[in-house]
Chains A and B, each alone.
Chain A
Amino acid sequence: GEDVEQSLFLSVREGDSSVINCTYTDSSSTYLYWYKQEPGAGLQLLTYIFSNMDMKQDQRLTVLLNKKDKHLSLRIADTQTGDSAIYFCAESPGDKLIFGTGTRLQVFP
């Protein structure tokens, strides 16, 4: 089946690292994605990882993929108040994206 799960909320202090976790079910997904949604806006692709990789780093973002456990995580280093948003992971079985429930990240000073 297709099901992507995330924790609903995460609260961190400015300057700390944030880790958002995601579990997915479809092992055929070639790519796994992280999207960011700010209030009143559409989704913005943050990063993606190819399924044969276990790590990808892009500036302050680090994606870790554990294919055996079907676990994906997004680490944001030096979290800023501008990082406050909802973060969605997504798997891609076929020509569509299946999104997680979204994790609301709140950054406080």
Chain B
Amino acid sequence: KAGVTQTPRYLIKTRGQQVTLSCSPISGHRSVSWYQQTPGQGLQFLFEYFSETQRNKGNFPGRFSGRQFSNSRSEMNVSTLELGDSALYLCASSFNGPQHDNEQFFGPGTRLTVL
């Protein structure tokens, strides 16, 4: 069974631009969560989608948004990029969601650099 895939793996953008990251969950998984990992702030929860609905949201500005499609694939979008948005963005999928005893599988991440 294929794991969680994220595209692209690396991305370089400039301030003010916008970016879209993609995550394909494991087949059959309906929950997709997004996390931002930076050296200063560590791993922070962005949002979680389940069956095309945003079920939970972290404390990030409205420039960060996401969506989930009927096939459970998810995208996250960051508009008006700032230098501080440079980070590793991790996506995780699970069958029911992170609160349950079913394992959350993480993708390898997308490394975003904002210049």
Residue positions of A touching B, CB distance < 8 A = 30-31, 35, 40-45, 48, 50, 88, 92, 94-102
Given contacts A31-B101, A48-B101, A102-B42, contact A96 B33 (CB under 8 A): yes
Specify the chain A residue showing the minimal Cβ separation from B47.
Answer: A96
Given contacts A96-B48, A99-B43, contact A41 B99 (CB under 8 A): no
Beta-carbon contacts under 8 Å, B62-115 to A: 90, 92, 97-101, 103-109
Contact A42–B48 (Cβ < 8 Å)? no
Which 4 residue pairs are nearest across A and B when measured between Cβ atoms? Answer: A42-B106, A99-B43, A43-B106, A95-B56
Specify the chain B residue showing the minimal Cβ separation from A50.
Answer: B101
| CA A5 to CA B35, docked complex, whole Å | 18
Please, which residues of chain B bring their CB within 8 A of the CB of A88? 43
Task: Tell me how far the C-beta of A99 lies from the nearest C-beta in chain B, rounded to whole angstroms.
Answer: 4
Task: Tell me how far the C-beta of A49 lies from the nearest C-beta in chain B, rounded to whole angstroms.
Answer: 10
* Chain A interface mostly: loop
| CA A92 to CA B35, docked complex, whole Å | 14
Task: Tell me how far the C-beta of B88 lies from the nearest C-beta in chain A, rounded to whole angstroms.
Answer: 9
Given contacts A42-B90, A43-B92, contact A97 B108 (CB under 8 A): no
Please, which residues of chain A bring their CB within 8 A of the CB of B109? 42
